Amino acid sequence: MGASLSSQTKASTKLKKIVDEQYLLPRNLFVFFEQFTRKQMKPTKTDAKVEPQLSNDKNRFKLSHTQLVSNRILQDVPPPLLTARVELIKQLNSSVTQLLKCVDLGDSQVLSAAVIAAKSAIATSYKLELFRRRVMTHLDEDPRLNLRFNRSRAALHMINPTHPDAMPLLKQLIEQVPKRSLNALKRDSVPWHVDLLGEGATDAGGPARDLFTQTCLEIMHPSTGLFIMTPNKRAMEGPNQELLIPNSHAVSPVQQQMFIYSGVLMTIAFISRLPQPFKFAEFVWAHFTGANMTIEDIYSVDKPFETLMKQIEKGEIDEAELEKCPRTFTVINSHGDSIELFPGGGGVRVTVERLPEYTQMCKKYRLREMKQQLDWLKEGISYFFPPDALFLLSPWELELIVCGDNSVPVSELKKHCRFDSKDKSSKMLWQVLESFSAEERMLFIKFATGRMGLPPPGSKWHSDLTITWVQSNVRDDVSMPLPTAATCSSTIRIPRYSTPEWMAKKIRAAILFGVDIDTDRQVNFADIVQLS
């Protein structure tokens, strides 16, 4: 009997870890519910032979052998335990509306903590709708702020940040919109009206969206100095090499303001339905949702540091190793610099006896290294995102809300476009876009609309992307003009190229090298040359 109980306890623990932490958190969470939580399931003949009915109650959840086999993560979990867990999740989702009316997620009460602990089991669609209702209040309806931006100075900053005439768009924004005026940017549309100095632009929405996207992309640019590549990227090993982490050296008052305003812009990306591809490490998003950073977060972006810590913890570094490769009380930070763990630590040798103390000091330093920058970002996020609404979200759900789907699947893009589905050129276009990378599909959207990605699930752009086809007088593809776009009306005009290969070449040329966007703008290249 004892052995049986012990076995059930182990299985229950494994179930909790596998289902709650590994399976319910991925983005396809509700594929799970769509497949498994129907009131009545019709087992196949194969199912009936292999797996008996788990309950006589027709309204109870049932899992077939085939369904278990198709989900490898769940194969080792006993079906009765899995059934009970899914039934509990169903009950939670059926009662969560009333439950949340009685709970203040911002307090420290036991029930609030329990709801937050169970948040990964609450339907993403429900949480997004609840979040939308909490955030989309008190929107500004006064005339938009009219802001003046000089993109030539911003371009110069990317090339030569120390030039006296260089100034990033983010800093230009901060100088024009003090904190007391930030509420004027909370709008269910483009947050501002822009005058682009030195450019022949008429802003009917397109240039404002384009400027917002450029400012958000600038936040991640090395010249701004707010974010840096991960240690894994520098070492060219380990996961998450494409992501960015806060720059722990960015501590000046000016950089503090830039972090805060960056957080504000991240919220506006959701409120104004202008999703942006912020490529931040998962622990950045987790910090916004109230989670504390763990050493596993550091390991996820710093494989060399993880390797060293685990070698020490496993006893793989002994006295002979320390004699051969002496260590002092220093740690390599996120920049790759050696930092003393205490004054004079660079001159103190680490002995075998002090290795546990050394690892604890290293971990403590790394866990606190970026806290100031994360807190500044969170301050900006909290301007328009209430903390209690953030607590209910998982990190990936918040990222989805702000960034949309960064993979930009063509099947989803079609849902936000107006086009003639019977037209041969339209069919060719979708074939071409399928062959593009996700980044190229983002640039296609940016070229045509000024946005940088698809909206999050359940949301739409204010206006769909209209695709029109232009009959050219030129017959050969080589001489045909490139596609053009008008971001104000979210319209792209594409000549009727004869082959997918030429269509792909021409579209790539337009989106990568920036053909003039009709009446929206004419870039003043002379100004950039003069400033340089």
pLDDT in tens, 233-270: 999 999 999 999 999 999 999 999 999 999 999 999 99
362 carries an active-site annotation:
no
Query: How far is 152 from 367, CA to CA, in rounded Å?
Result: 39
Which pLDDT value is given to residue 219?
A: 98
For residue 92, give the amino acid letter. Answer: L
CB under 8 Å to 288, separation ≥6 — which residues?
A: 377, 378, 381, 385, 390, 395, 398
Which pLDDT value is given to residue 126?
A: 83
| Residues of each domain in the chain carrying CATH 3.90.1750.10 | 145-290+371-403
In contact, 188 and 139? CB cutoff 8 Å? yes
| Residues of each domain in the chain carrying CATH 3.30.2410.10 | 410-528
From first CA to last CA, the distance across the chain in angstroms is 81
Place of tokens 């752009």: 461
Catalytic residue (choose from 216, 362, 403, 488)? 488
Please report the sign of the dihedral spanned by the C-alpha atoms of residue 440, residue 446, residue 451, residue 457. Answer: negative
Give Cα separations from 74 to 8, 14, 77, 215 (angstroms).
Answer: 16, 10, 5, 44
Q: Which of 27, 91, 19 is nearest to 282 (CA)?
A: 27
DSSP state string for 298-348: HHTT-HHHHHHHHHHHTT-S-HHHHHHS--BSEEE-TTS-EEESSTTGGGS
User: What is the β-pairing status of strands 244-246 and 330-332?
Assistant: unpaired
User: What is the β-pairing status of strands 193-196 and 146-149?
Assistant: parallel
Query: How far is 49 from 350, CA to CA, in rounded Å?
Result: 63
Label residue 253 exposed, middle or buried (CB < 10 Å: 0-12, 13-18, 19+). exposed
CATH architecture assignment, domain 410-528: 2-Layer Sandwich (3.30)
Q: Degrees (nearest 5) of the Cα angle 315, 317, 321? A: 150
Query: How far is 478 from 393, CA to CA, in rounded Å?
Result: 50
In contact, 247 and 211? CB cutoff 8 Å? no
| Residues of each domain in the chain carrying CATH 3.30.2160 | 297-369
CATH architecture assignment, domain 145-290+371-403: Alpha-Beta Complex (3.90)
Does residue 294 come out as left (phi exceeding 0), alpha (psi in the -120 to 50 range) or beta? beta
User: What is the β-pairing status of strands 465-470 and 491-495?
Assistant: parallel
In contact, 483 and 301? CB cutoff 8 Å? no
In contact, 444 and 429? CB cutoff 8 Å? no
Give Cα separations from 532 to 153, 224, 231, 526, 528 (angstroms).
Answer: 9, 18, 33, 10, 6
Which pLDDT value is given to residue 274?
A: 92
**Per the structure block, which two tokens stand in for 295?**
């050493």
Query: How far is 525 from 313, CA to CA, in rounded Å?
Result: 58
Largest CA distance in the chain: 86
Residue 280, beta-bridge partner list: 244
**In tens digits, what is the pLDDT along the chain, a chain of 532 residues?**
444 444 444 444 444 444 444 444 333 333 444 344 333 333 333 333 333 333 334 444 455 555 555 566 667 777 777 777 778 788 888 877 777 777 777 676 777 777 777 888 888 888 888 899 889 999 999 999 999 999 999 999 999 999 999 999 999 999 999 999 999 999 998 999 999 988 866 666 688 998 999 999 999 999 999 999 999 999 999 999 999 999 999 999 999 999 999 999 999 999 999 999 999 999 999 999 999 999 999 999 999 999 999 999 999 999 999 999 999 999 999 999 999 999 999 999 999 999 999 999 999 999 999 999 999 999 999 999 999 889 889 999 999 999 988 889 999 999 999 999 999 999 999 999 999 999 999 999 989 988 888 888 777 888 899 999 999 888 888 889 999 998 888 899 999 999 999 999 999 999 988 644 444 444 443 443 344 3
pLDDT in tens, 9-50: 444 444 444 444 444 433 333 344 434 433 333 333 333 333
User: What is the β-pairing status of strands 244-246 and 227-229?
Assistant: antiparallel
Q: How far is C-alpha 157 from the geometric centre of its chain's CA atoms?
A: 26
Q: Which of 417, 496, 486 is nearest to 449 (CA)?
A: 486
Note the CATH number of domain 297-369: 3.30.2160
